[in-house]
Amino acid sequence: MADLPVLASSRALGLSRAERRAAKEIATTRAAGNLLAARQAVRLDVIADVASVALVNASAVSSLEAALVMRTPHAAGRLGFIADSACVSMAQVVARTGRSL
């Protein structure tokens, strides 16, 4: 479809009214397609950014959990629960971001 002509002017010489109308509709359809593609690309970028931050934070939480378990092994269950809860919350934010955009 990219090789179809788009008229620079709606009063192009030598073209019928139907041809000019068709060219205008093609240009409008192309513009709408380009806009949709741009919106989807931005949506994917936002989701990827949110997921990236969540992954880094989940890693930091897990690292801190491991360090604290080494210091206080008797608190391993509580620390694990807190770390898991935090990671589940982060996952919910990532999922909600994907649905809300």
Query: For residue range 45-81, what is the model confidence (pLDDT) as tens digits?
Result: 999 999 999 999 999 999 999 999 999 999 999 999 9
pLDDT of 85: 98
pTM to 2 decimals?
Answer: 0.69
Q: What is the model's pLDDT at position 10?
A: 52
Confidence band for 7, pLDDT divided at 50, 70 and 90: low
- Any idea what DSSP says for residue 4? S
pLDDT at residue 12 in the model: 56
DSSP per position, 37-83: HHHHHHHHHHHHHHHHHHHHHHHHHHHHHHHHHHH-GGGHHHHHHHH
pLDDT for the residue numbered 38: 96
Chain position carrying tokens 């019928």: 16
pLDDT of residue 64: 98
Q: Could you read off the pLDDT of 25-37 as tens digits, one per residue?
A: 999 999 999 999 9
Provide the 10 A C-beta neighbour count for residue 51. 17
